[in-house]
Amino acid sequence: MFILSNHNTIANHFMAEIRDADVQKDSMRFRRNMERLGEVFAYEISKVLPYEEFEVQTPLGLSNVKMIKELPVLVTILRAGLPLHQGMLNIFDHADSAFISAYRKHKKSGDFIIQMEYVSTPDLNGKTVIICDPMLATGRSMVLCCKEILANYKIKELHIVSVIASQEGIAHVKANVPNARFWLGAIDEEMTTKAYIVPGLGDAGDLAFGQKV
């Protein structure tokens, strides 16, 4: 498990801004900070991928360069995950992408279920898959999406990226998707009765794209 906040890095400035209630008023800034964090995560993940040596023709000769053997497939959960996904795509700029529509469907009792509408994906068989979602609260939506992928494809490796995660969410995902590798910005200890992470940052989708009805 890689936890970004455990390291001294400029990325912690981006983390501070996405949490800051005053800075959050600028939705463009919020999206950009999510995107920059996606770039940081992609760079860190790139260090553990398999590489091989390629020969590159320069204007003056040949140069041997180690490059990623096979790019991962980037998966995100709509809609909140889009800026984070874009940041990762900025780094893995030739990678294929997949999209999952999943959301909380609230009941009158205050409880909620996770509703999945559709999955749009290339062939994931034999691929390294990176699935990102800004917030890992209960972990229920992440587990649902991972199980959907794993039920239909024999993937090689599964990486989960989340900017802020709860201890409960991590435990739930570990119990149900034990082979996944985590890349997290920070881990927060608490959740509200409505399953929002505390201190967290609020609703990432609303902050990025405006409040939903």
The structural domains of the chain, with segments of one domain joined by +, span 2-209
Which region among 28-32, 86-90, 109-113 has the lowest average model confidence (pLDDT)? 109-113
The band of 112, judged by pLDDT with boundaries at 50, 70 and 90, is low
The band of 14, judged by pLDDT with boundaries at 50, 70 and 90, is very high
In this structure, which amino acid lies at residue 152? N
Instruction: Give residues with Cβ within 8 angstroms of 44, minimum separation 6.
Output: 2, 4, 183
pTM of the model: 0.91
Give me 7's structure tokens. 């390291």
Share of the chain above pLDDT 90, in %: 82
What pLDDT score was predicted for residue 42? Answer: 98
Q: Class of the 2-209 domain?
A: alpha beta
The band of 194, judged by pLDDT with boundaries at 50, 70 and 90, is confident
